């Protein structure tokens, strides 16, 4: 019961994580760069915006997925974007933003991420 009481005491510190940013990417040059990206997202994302939850990758390094959650998917992605721009393997990745509305319905946006191209960092998925 003590753990439950501690959780209730810290409830004011809780950041809603109803929205999500899911990024699906193609081939990459090994787990080292994925781990570097993960660590930067873990360390550099402001806690009041959201949190990075990690990744899943194929055993043959042909594709993978990044998972992040926060109270506003758009704000979370904007906080992630400068970090993502440092990783060329994310060029052309599919970004999926999911927003949980107050009425418990979900709206979603998918777009292609373009690394380091000012003014054209994203474009709608066809």
Contact 70, 50 (CB under 8 A): yes
What is the distance between the terminal CA atoms of the chain, rounded to a whole angstrom? Answer: 51
Every domain of the chain and the residues it spans = 15-124
What phi, psi does 19 have (nearest 5°)? -95, 160
**Mean pLDDT, rounded, for 12-23:** 75
The SS3 call for residue 62 is coil
Contact 15, 51 (CB under 8 A): yes
Query: What percentage of residues in the chain have a pLDDT greater than 70?
Result: 79
Least confident of 2-6, 31-35, 62-66, 69-73: 2-6
10 Å CB burial of residue 102 (0-12, 13-18, 19+) is exposed
Whether the per-residue pLDDT at 14 is higher than 50: the answer is no
Whether the per-residue pLDDT at 120 is higher than 50: the answer is no
User: Which CATH code is given to the segment(s) 15-124?
Assistant: 3.30.70
């Amino acid at each position: 019961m003590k753990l439950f009481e501690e959780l209730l005491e810290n409830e004011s510190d809780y950041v809603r994580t109803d929205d999500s940013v899911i990024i699906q990417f193609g081939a990459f040059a090994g787990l080292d760069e994925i781990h570097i990206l993960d660590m930067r997202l873990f360390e550099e994302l402001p806690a009041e915006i959201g949190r990075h939850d990690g990744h899943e990758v194929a055993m043959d390094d042909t594709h993978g997925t990044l998972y992040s959650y926060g109270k506003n998917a758009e704000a979370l992605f904007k906080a992630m974007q400068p970090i993502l721009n440092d990783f060329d393997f994310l060029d052309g990745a599919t970004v999926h933003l999911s927003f949980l509305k107050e009425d418990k319905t979900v709206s979603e946006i998918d777009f292609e991420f373009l690394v380091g191209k000012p003014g054209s960092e994203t474009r709608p998925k066809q």
